[in-house]
Amino acid sequence: MSNNLKQKITRRRAIKVATIAGAGILYLPSGILARGQSPNEKLSVAFIGLGAQGKYQLNNIADMSNLANVVALCDVDDVRAGNAYERFPKAEKFYDFRIMFDKLEKSIDAVTVSTPDHTHYHPVIRAIRAGKHVYCEKPLAHSVAEIRIITEEAARMKVATQLGCQRHANKNMARVVELIKSGVIGDVTEVYSWIGSDRGMPPKPDGVGTPPDTLKWDIWLGPCPTDWKFVTTGGKSTFVPYNWRFWWDFGTGESGNWSCHILDLPYWALDLKYPIKVSASGAEVDAERTPQKMEVVYDFPARNGLPPLRLVWSQTKKPTCFEKYKIKMPAKNKENKNVNPNNLFVGTKGMILAGFDRHVLLPEDNFKDFEYPEKTIKDSPGFHLEWINACKGQEPATCNFAYSGPMAETAILGNNAFKAGHKTFEWDSEKLLAKNCPEVQNLIKPEFKKGWEY
């Protein structure tokens, strides 16, 4: 094959991915191992974003010093980075991930990305296309199109990936999945999932300040097309360090914040992938800020012998399913633990009310003498260790992007339905097409600031 022809094929592939052509997504099947380092080599890891979740990744991976080295630390905010630079004096320090890659790309095996949602895509896709393994915080990216490109490229490059849904490693989650897959509650046709929160609609800016010397504001804004000044509310930054989450330009609200944790259970137990219909409702839509209350109804098709499913996602303090099914909050168990539920599975033979750490079969009287099925899902060795092992060529991590990418897309798609004005539409996941709904379609692929294009 001539070099010219190779270049044309490579360019066609790049154009196809960048424009999200209608081909199906490329997955790395669970039985196929990622391209990895020798099990005896230490992994050289770079950390992008060192705030709350960034420190969580750093601490967990640094604890595995026999398996990984901290080679680079990157954050736009010296205050949020805290003492990370002092703890790891041999690691090189950067403000801009692009400069980090330019200098150290050949020295890095893997990266973690724990930045605000709007700045996930660019470091993640650059790392993947350079053949680096990636651990990224949820909800993977800021838009459906970004998530799809990341997922396709991760499969193509055969890199090890993990989305930050660390509760997937909780033993209770596996037990609920085993119950549902064993048919204890029959065919599940409805699921109610929720986050009990009314966060959102933060106060608007009332002033403009000067970014502190410790914060690289332009890099923090990154690809955001809006030329935001360093605005303040009550004398404090409107967005930094946390409230960016509730502004559409930067965050994805409580849905993006929590749905990848909570929807993880129904996705895992019921083999979910992409919905075929989406409908949103809730509070009045604000063009700039995420809501305090919303509901999204997703319809999923029959799959793998399972019946069609309706999943209702809510941000609410009072899930409607409790009244609908006359559910009373179960008593504490022997260890004095509440269920703290966030999922209700409705089956033809019963229901399961589940939280991250405890669950209960309903009606309780029907399951008094119930004997649990044999354990079939092995315990996680540790959520970060799963990823490190995958980077070294072992089995894929449990929340690799092939599994978690569709889940993240679904969460963002619900936000789009809400933000577009409480829309209902049929969804063509292959073409990334919201049928007959241009208001949602306009949100699938975002605009970026000049210089940050796809």
- H/E stretch holding 167 reads none
Residue 271 has pLDDT above 80, yes or no: yes
Q: Is the dihedral of CA 284, 289, 292, 294 positive or negative?
A: positive
Strands 424-428 and 433-434: antiparallel
Residue 254 to residue 258: CA distance in whole angstroms? 6
**Omega before 139 within 30 of 0, i.e. cis:** yes
pLDDT band of 34, cuts 50, 70, 90:
low
pLDDT band of 330, cuts 50, 70, 90:
confident
Phi/psi class of residue 186: alpha, beta or left (left: φ > 0; alpha: ψ in -120 to 50)?
left
Residue 174 has pLDDT above 80, yes or no: yes
- Amino acid type, 278: V
How far CA 316 is from CA of 260, 290, 291, 292, in Å, comes to: 17, 13, 10, 8
C-beta separation of 354 from 203 below 8 A:
no
Residue-level pLDDT at 450 = 93
- H/E stretch holding 302 reads none
Residue-level pLDDT at 179 = 97
Residue 140 to residue 269: CA distance in whole angstroms? 21
The one-character DSSP state at 22 is: S
The SS3 assignment for 180 reads: helix
- CA angle, 273 as apex, 270 and 274 as ends, to 5°? 130
The SS3 assignment for 157 reads: helix
Residue 133 to residue 116: CA distance in whole angstroms? 20
C-beta separation of 417 from 299 below 8 A:
no
Residue 141 to residue 329: CA distance in whole angstroms? 35
Query: What digits encode the pLDDT tens for the residues 222-236?
Result: 999 999 999 999 999
Residue-level pLDDT at 35 = 57
pLDDT band of 316, cuts 50, 70, 90:
very high
Looking at residues 38-44, what average pLDDT do you find?
A: 77
Looking at residues 66-91, what average pLDDT do you find?
A: 97
Comparing 30-39, 63-72, 150-159, 407-416, the range with the smallest average pLDDT is 30-39
Residue 148 to residue 171: CA distance in whole angstroms? 30
Instruction: Tally Cβ neighbours within 10 Å of residue 397.
Output: 27
Give the DSSP letter string of 217-270: HHHHHTT-SS----EEETTEESSTTTGGGGBTTT--HHHHHHHHHHTHHHHHHH
Retrieve residue 234's tokens.
Answer: 């009550």
pLDDT band of 6, cuts 50, 70, 90:
very low
Q: CA 134: distance to chain centroid?
A: 13
Residue 155 has pLDDT above 90, yes or no: yes
Residue 52 to residue 119: CA distance in whole angstroms? 16
Looking at residues 271-276, what average pLDDT do you find?
A: 98
Q: Select from 3.40.190.10, 3.30.360.10, 3.90.550.10, 3.40.50.150 the CATH code of 168-199+253-367.
A: 3.30.360.10
Cβ-based neighbours of 40, under 8 Å, separated by 6 or more: none
Residue-level pLDDT at 335 = 74
Query: What digits encode the pLDDT tens for the residues 92-149?
Result: 999 999 999 999 999 999 999 999 999 999 999 999 999 999 999 999 999 999 999 9
Residue 30 has pLDDT above 60, yes or no: no
Residue-level pLDDT at 26 = 35
Rounded to the nearest 5°, which phi and psi values hold at 233? -135, 120
pLDDT band of 329, cuts 50, 70, 90:
confident
Residue-level pLDDT at 36 = 58
Residue 101 to residue 42: CA distance in whole angstroms? 19
Rounded to the nearest 5°, which phi and psi values hold at 258? -115, -20
Topology given in CATH for the domain delimited by 9-167+382-403+436-444: Rossmann fold (3.40.50)
Residue-level pLDDT at 14 = 39
Tell me the pLDDT of the chain averaged across its residues.
92
Looking at residues 71-90, what average pLDDT do you find?
A: 97
pLDDT band of 331, cuts 50, 70, 90:
confident
Residue-level pLDDT at 148 = 98
- Write down the domain spans for the chain: 9-167+382-403+436-444, 168-199+253-367, 209-246
Query: What digits encode the pLDDT tens for the residues 369-391?
Result: 999 989 999 999 999 999 999 99
Residue 9 has pLDDT above 90, yes or no: no
Looking at residues 12-22, what average pLDDT do you find?
A: 37
Residue 190 has pLDDT above 50, yes or no: yes
Share of the chain above pLDDT 90, in %: 86
Residue 198 has pLDDT above 50, yes or no: yes
Retrieve residue 36's tokens.
Answer: 């990895």
pLDDT band of 246, cuts 50, 70, 90:
very high
